[in-house]
Each structure stands twice: as C-alpha cells, then as structure tokens.
Structure 1
Amino acid sequence: MELRVLKYFLMVAREENITKAAELLHITQPTLSRQLIQLEDELGVQLFERKQHSIELTSEGMLF
C-alpha cells in the first residue's frame, strides 16, 4: 500500500464523489476508481458503497 493511495482514499471519503476527488487530485476518474478497487482488493474489504452520483464509506471504510 502506497501513501499516494491513502491520500486518494481520504480525498474520496471527504468529497463523497470520485469525479470531484479526481479533479482535486489532478488525476483522471478511471485511474482513481481503479486505485480504490485495488486498495479494496488488497485489504479484502469493501471501503465504499457506490451509488449513482455519489459514494459513501461502508462501516469497514469508516474503521480504515
């Protein structure tokens, strides 16, 4: 796990929107989404509940 990916996680958790977080991080939305999925795979838990136009932390995401 890289510090950069933790920074991505925190930005998405704060913004509750992947597109907005990607803009603030100056990366593309698909790149950010891929990094979050890889983080979830690495940890073996779902950190976010993805909705149509927003994203929320799961209970595991809150603990992380």
Structure 2
Amino acid sequence: MELRQLRQFVVLAETLNFHRAAERLHMAQPPLSTAMRKLEEELGIVLFDRDPRGLKLTVAGGIAL
C-alpha cells in the first residue's frame, strides 16, 4: 500500500465517480481503476460497490475513509 493509493481512494470516495476522480488526480481513469483494485486486493476487502447505477462505498470502504 502506498500513500498515493490512499490519496486516490479518498478522492474516489469523495466523488464516487472514476472519471471525475481521475480528473481531480490529473490521471487517466484506467490506471485509477487498476490502483483501486490493487488496493482492495492488498487489504483483502472490497471498498467500492461497482454497480451499473453508480459507484458506492461498501461498509468497509466507509470505515476505511
């Protein structure tokens, strides 16, 4: 886990939108998505509920925030 990943997590949790979060972080969306999946794998928990209707924090994601 890197500080960069934690910053990305916080911005994504605030916006709940990969595109807007990537814009705020001055990066492309695919690397942000990859970074969040890697963070979830490292922690062994799902932080975001990825639903066709939108992105939501899971209970674990809310606690981590």
Is the shorter-chain TM-score for this pair beyond 0.5, marking a shared fold? yes
Moved beyond 2 Å, runs of 4+: none
Q: Percent same amino acid at aligned positions?
A: 44
Q: Secondary structure at the match of 2:20?
A: helix
Query: 2:9 maps to what in 1?
Result: 9
TM-score (norm 2): 0.93
Gaps of 5+ in 2: none
**Is 1:57 matched with 2:57?**
yes
Gaps of 5+ in 1: none
Query: 2:18 maps to what in 1?
Result: 18
TM-score (norm 1): 0.94
Cα RMSD after superposing both structures: 0.9
Query: 1:43 maps to what in 2?
Result: 43
